[in-house]
Amino acid sequence: MCEEESKIYTSEKLKSALNRFSNAINKINVFAYRQVYLLSNGVLSRNPYINKLLGRFYEDSFTSSVDQSYILLLAKLLSYYMKSFAKFFVWLLQKFFFSLSGYKSSNLNKHTEGLVLIDTYFVVPNLKRNDYRDRAYLRNLDLILEKHGKEYSYLPIFYGEKNPFKYISIFNAFKKNNVDYITEYELLNLADICKITWFILTYPFVVLRLAKNLETSDKDVALVKDELLLTIDQITWGSYARYLVGRRVGEKVKDSKLISWCEYQSIQKNLYKGLRDKNKSIKIFGCQFFLRFGDWVNIDIPNSEVDSGIAPDLILVNGRAAMVNDSKVPHKLGASLRNKPMFGIANNNNNKSELFPILLLSYLEGESKRLLQLIGDSGYKNKKVYVKAHPTLNLASLKPYISNHWIIVEGDLYDRLEDANIVIVTASGTAAEAVVIGKSVIVIGDPNGITTNPLLNLGKGKIWDIAETSEEVTNVAKKLLEYRVSNEEIVSQLSEKYKSLLFIDATDEDILAMFDL
């Protein structure tokens, strides 16, 4: 197998856009990140999914000039203040409910030396069924630590629920649960609330000052400047609050370890910076136990940012294909915690000549809608098709796009994939999981923009391919089905190669060793 086959499939046009996009932002961040407030800016974080900047580089589009429209800029500033203070009020209400619950972290006040902190997302709607633990990201890491007598506390990022009253039962459950949680609601005090208020008031002017000082003779920098102004209404104080959380934790613990779900977004950069500003003895393990996408550029850590104190000490990756050898941050092989059940599943080619498709929806509602519409316009509208949603996707809003002939399924992903032979996805890492257990995959491409795809150059046209139209879906499905029926051994070999490149099985002892425990 050549080296090129182990790289994520990326078009030449996207490679060019990514290079320009990253170079322009990295050039700005050399001086921008000296100001802590700008760590919370979504454009500078290089996250391509929260603004349109990468798409504009991809299309080489410069059609907006918000800096020349004072009315538009004022409207955005007004929108920013209204949205930011409204969300802040909701947060204060949640903090009030937390105080009423009476919950206090026992480790924060008693056991602070050598403590293991687990920095991860808590998907609020799923917490109760998951016994108020993380079962979506650093899956079952807590159980491994408990089994081997390691003291730990969750440092959760609450996600997926806007109703503050839903948190009342969660905080009450924390008090009854035999797990330790260190939350922002306990850590942040009146002084921090004042700092957040000041951040909300002054942040737009920090962005405006940065934009004013940018050298716009450089076309790519000018494009970044324009996007900074276009997105100035985005709520950012939540990321800054994570910086304050880091400072408070850094004051209280020593010789500890932070095991962090690391997408290297603003919220993680702020936490790492806050910790390092107060306590340089904490070792930060950045866990990238996920599948990479060709356009997911923010997960790569620029060498220019390492000395700023916002990068982990070590990055642990999900598989050999994700290793980076030219980074200042050491990269090592980690463990596929989210995919542990996959290693117990035998390769199931299901080489029936009849098509058994399943649609796997992304957590991005827009991408999922596009997938459903495309399949709805194809020859599969009136056929039996299974549909499975991402755990964080609100499927109710997409019901109008789901044919009455289709079947919505829930439960474990691998159980649902067992009978399928063709898996159709968009913007979802489940494409790789499907390939590994022997399924053929169609990635729905975007003819008008960037196609988000986790698959490698390996096996394109054999075990997976891209389709951009309803007609292409039908034709590609037919070709992939014919290939798998006629080339069962090759399909099996490709599946095994994908498993060896993208995933790592690990024992409890391996996992403890990678965190120096």
Q: What is the pTM of this model?
A: 0.91
Q: Which residue type, as a one-letter code, is found at position 468?
A: E
Residue with tokens 């550029």: 297
Q: Sorting pLDDT into bands at 50, 70 and 90, what band is 307?
A: confident
Torsion of Cα atoms, 8 then 287 then 364 then 450, to 10°? -30
The secondary structure of 34-79 as a DSSP string is TSGGGGG-TTTTT-TTSSSHHHHHHHT-----GGG-HHHHHHHHHH
Token representation of residue 374: 């495309």
CA-derived radius of gyration, the chain = 23
Residue with tokens 């796009």: 401
Does residue 48 or residue 411 have the better pLDDT?
48
Rounded CA-CA distance 256/497 in Å is 38
Q: Give the tens place of pLDDT for each residue, 346-403.
A: 666 555 556 678 888 888 888 889 889 988 888 888 888 888 888 778 888 898 898 8
Task: Assess whether pLDDT exceeds 90 at residue 426.
Answer: no
Rounded CA-CA distance 415/388 in Å is 11
pLDDT at 66: 63
Q: Give the tens place of pLDDT for each residue, 284-304.
A: 999 999 999 999 999 999 999
* Strands (E) located in 273-388: 283-288, 314-317, 331-333, 357-360, 386-388
Q: Give the tens place of pLDDT for each residue, 308-329.
A: 889 999 999 999 999 988 899 9
Q: State how far the alpha carbon of 449 is from the alpha carbons of 111, 246, 370, 481, in Å.
A: 51, 37, 13, 27
In degrees, to the nearest 5, what angle opens at C-alpha 476 toward C-alphas 471 and 478? 100
Q: Quickly list H helices, 377-429.
A: 413-417
Task: Assess whether pLDDT exceeds 90 at residue 415.
Answer: no
Q: Sorting pLDDT into bands at 50, 70 and 90, what band is 62?
A: confident
Residue with tokens 């900074």: 228
Whole-number percent of the chain with pLDDT over 70? 96
Q: State how far the alpha carbon of 121 is from the alpha carbons of 57, 223, 237, 260, 494, in Å.
A: 30, 32, 17, 10, 33
Average confidence score pLDDT of the chain: 90
Rounded CA-CA distance 7/323 in Å is 11
Rounded CA-CA distance 504/203 in Å is 42
What residues pair up with 155 in beta bridges, in sequence order?
Answer: 119
Rounded CA-CA distance 66/52 in Å is 14
Phi, psi dihedrals of residue 332, rounded to the nearest 5°: -135, 160
Contact 123/392 with Cβ under 8 angstroms? yes
Helix (H) / strand (E) containing 444: strand 440-444
Q: What domains can you pick out in the chain, each with its CATH number?
A: 343-502 (3.40.50.2000)
N- to C-terminal Cα separation, the chain: 36
